[in-house]
Chains A and B, each alone.
Chain A
Amino acid sequence: MTTTSQANPVRGGGHRAPAPPRAHRPSRRSRRVGRLTPYVLLLPGLLIIAGLLLYPMYQLLVMSTQKVGLRQIRGAEADSVGAENYERILTSEVFWSSLRNTIVFAAVAVTLTLLVGTLVGILLNKLGKRMSTAVVVSAMLAWATPQAAVAVLWRWLFDEQSGVANRAFDLLPDWLSELLFGRADWTGYTWFLESFPTYVVLTLCVVWASFPFIAVSVLAGLRSIPGELHEAARMDGAGAWRAFWRVTFPMLRPVFSVLVVLSIIWDFKVFTQLYILANGMGNKEVFNLSLYAYAEAFSSPPAMGMGSAIAVVLTVILLIITGVYVRQIVRQEEV
């Protein structure tokens, strides 16, 4: 891990090598062309990013201070309303419950994903070759399943009539089920009406789909720790627990910090799975920020100004977290 900043001559450092002496001096014209080349190569990509990401971001900001309803969508000039959209969302109960859902969900899902992922990563590092390959390939199935399919699949697993979850809970002895969940009869229990059970399923399906990435990254990190370090710790009489916290964890810290930030970003804006699990936007109680923004902007009558204001709040939060991510990446790798 400490070697990340030492330039690997082949991998990242091609551009850092000093220019070898040239056989012949290039003419002044070809030197000027040479200076311009990177910008010419960069231009198409930059135009796309500017047009499809930066300009819409600016537009979003502008729209958040306007009233954009059906008439404006059809082409009428939008009127500025100043900070009214923001005042309205900040005084709306749905905004605060969406914000709460977003934050609580992200906190729980990120913690669980990292915990499960790290444990599996450590497990992979200890397992024999054949077993660890089997685990990686199985986990890959969970990782690769498209979000929309994951959501539909988990809706089926937790279906009220024939879902396997309700069937399994029904198999539990009544007293145990009563003790654990406060109900004995699960036949026909609907998971997707209220906010809490919906989020329980959402958490399960997000953790299931995202722990493999954490596990594989942690494994890659573990493999990069020199074996001598553990040997030295063992020689000094450190037990497994102590060795983990004193050797493994500090060595993995850079990987962890990136994984934490990435997971927060992903779980903060979860949309597809929530939309499909909640089966649309009928229930305001389950909204998170992205679903709330979407619902304001695209249900009828559309209130795109309001939707934009909510989306701005979401984007600003995410950009702040992204700032942390960028700092870590820049620190670890000379970009």
Chain B
Amino acid sequence: MNPATRRKAGRVALNAAGVIVILASVFPVYWMVATALKTKQAIASTEFSLFPTDFTFEHFTKIFTQGVGNTSIWVYLGNSAIVALGTVIVGSLFALLSATAVARFRFRGRTSYLILLLIVQMVPAEAMIIPLSLMVRRAGLGDQLLGLIVINVGFTLPFAIWMLRTFVAAVPKELEEAASIDGATRFRTFWSVLFPLVAPGLVATSIFSFITAWNEFVFAFTLMANEKGYTMPVALRWFASREGTDWGGVMAASTMMTIPVIVFFLIVQRRMVSGLVAGAVKG
């Protein structure tokens, strides 16, 4: 083979590999959506059909009207949204304060604090649920969405601070100094100079916390005793174990749970990587 054909063959092989990766990544998600759009008969049929032949929205209609266990899926989506938004609002405030402290000031205990953040970020929720379930119930927050918000704030905060601090550090300190020389108060400097510049970072961090809280399973599963308080992941697993044969409905519900995450995800994926691998991938 001459070099030109060889290079061309290499190109084709690479693109073929790319197509395989695309198919392997997309197929399960495709199958989830396709199942949700197939008729009951088509799902149960032994005929192998890659594409839904007659589309139907019956499963989506069913989960929204009849719902899961007589509760519309709106309720579960709503619960998840409340928990996730609550976590974001409370969490971002605390994260911004802490991130400003570590990025803007040099003080005793700063390094220890950062190391503490890295460590607690890895504490397994699956282990902490045992003491936390007792604590939350004793505080009267068992079976309440507020209890879930509080816990989610705790578990998303370390990473949120870690991620946000690079954004705060990226704002040139001179800007703040200029503002303060011009006579702006500390609060004004923060509000009119630092805050607008950190806002994009705050959005990225918020989306991260939102996704984590939206997906959280263990705490919601353990603490929410009443079906009406289930968040989406808990409702989904309940649905799957209760009506395991209604795969159309289960897949429609998973689709509804996945869509918001995918949308948010596409917005922030670059930040997630640089936050987790920290210095390692910074060129």
The total of chain B residues at the interface (CB under 8 A) is 107
Using A144-B265, A293-B126, A326-B118 as known contacts, say yes or no to A171 and B95 having CB atoms under 8 A apart: no
Among A81-89, A131-139, A172-180, the one that faces the other chain is: A131-139
Cβ–Cβ contact A138 & B21, under 8 A = yes
Task: State which residues 40-55 of A face B: CB under 8 Å.
Answer: 41-42, 44-46, 48-49, 51-55
Asked if B124 contacts A290 (CB within 8 A), the reply is yes
Contact B273 A52 (CB under 8 A): no
Q: Once the chains are docked, how many angstroms separate the CA of A335 from the CA of B102?
A: 9
Given known pairs A48-B154, A148-B233, the reply for A208 and B24 (CB within 8 Å) is yes
A311 near B126 with CB under 8 A, answer: yes
Asked if B166 contacts A254 (CB within 8 A), the reply is no
User: Is residue B170 within 8 Å, beta carbon to beta carbon, of the partner chain?
Assistant: yes
A262/B236 in contact, CB under 8 A? no
**Contact present for A164 and B240 (CB under 8 Å):** no
Stretch at the interface among B51-59, B64-72, B127-135: B127-135
Query: A10, A326, A328: which contacts B172 (Cβ < 8 A)?
Result: A10
Q: State A216–B240 Cα separation when bound (angstroms).
A: 32
**A96 contacts chain B at the CB level, 8 A cutoff:** no
Interface: A20 (CB within 8 A): yes
Complex interface residues of chain A between 61 and 97 (CB less than 8 A to chain B): 63, 73
- Contacting B119 at CB < 8 Å: which of A45, A155, A171, A326? A326
Q: What is the chain B residue whose CB lies nearest that of A1?
A: B283
Query: Which of B118, B124, B154, B240 contacts A155, CB < 8 Å?
Result: B240
Contact of B257 among A23, A148, A159, A308 (CB under 8 A): A148
Kindly list chain B residues whose C-beta atoms are within 8 Å of the C-beta of A232: none
Cross-chain contact A49 with B158 (CB below 8 angstroms): yes
A27 at the interface (CB under 8 A from B): no
B173 within 8 A of A: yes
Kindly provide the distance from the CB of B107 to the nearest chain A CB, expressed in whole angstroms: 4
For A307, the chain B residues whose CB sits under 8 A away are: 130
Does A202 reach chain B (CB closer than 8 Å)? no
Q: Inside 8 A of B124's CB, which chain A residues have their CB? A: 269, 290, 311, 314-315, 318
State whether the Cβ of A224 lies closer than 8 Å to any Cβ in chain B.
Answer: yes
Mask, A279-295, CB within 8 Å of B = 1, is 11000000000100110
Q: Tell me, yes or no, whether B247 is within 8 Å of chain A by CB.
A: yes
A279 near B115 (CB under 8 angstroms)? no
Q: Count chain A residues whose beta carbon lies closer than 8 angstroms to a beta carbon of B.
A: 120
Whole-angstrom CA separation of A254 from B281 in the bound complex: 8
Closest to B120 in A: A53
B211 cross-chain contacts in A, Cβ below 8 A: 144
In the complex, B278 has a CB within 8 A of chain A: yes
Residues 17-37 (chain A) with a chain B CB within 8 angstroms: 17, 20, 23, 35, 37
B residues near A4, Cβ cutoff 8 Å: 279-280, 282
| A197 close to chain B: CB less than 8 A | no
* Residues in A whose Cβ lies below 8 Å from that of B151: 52
Contact in complex: B215, A143 (CB < 8 Å): no
Interface stretch, picked from A103-111, A119-127, A241-249, is A119-127
List B contacts of A216 (CB < 8 A). Answer: 269, 273
Contacts beyond the supplied A271-B126, A294-B129: 14 A-B pairs with Cβ under 8 Å: A41-B101, A41-B105, A49-B117, A49-B120, A55-B135, A126-B14, A217-B280, A254-B279, A258-B277, A276-B240, A293-B126, A308-B130, A321-B122, A333-B282
Give 5 nearest A-B pairs by CB, closest first. Answer: A52-B154, A333-B279, A224-B283, A148-B233, A311-B127
Q: Which residues of B contact A (CB under 8 A)?
A: 14-15, 17-18, 21-22, 24-26, 28-29, 31-32, 35, 43-44, 46, 48, 94-95, 97-98, 100-107, 110-111, 113-120, 122-124, 126-135, 150-151, 153-155, 157-158, 161, 166, 168-174, 177, 181, 211, 214-215, 217-218, 222, 232-234, 236-237, 240-241, 244, 247, 250-251, 254, 257-258, 261-262, 265-266, 269, 272-274, 276-283
27 contacts between A and B (CB under 8 A): A1-B280, A10-B172, A14-B104, A14-B169, A14-B171, A14-B173, A39-B107, A45-B97, A46-B113, A53-B154, A138-B21, A139-B25, A142-B26, A144-B265, A146-B214, A146-B232, A146-B233, A147-B215, A147-B217, A148-B233, A156-B35, A255-B277, A258-B277, A259-B277, A294-B129, A298-B133, A314-B127
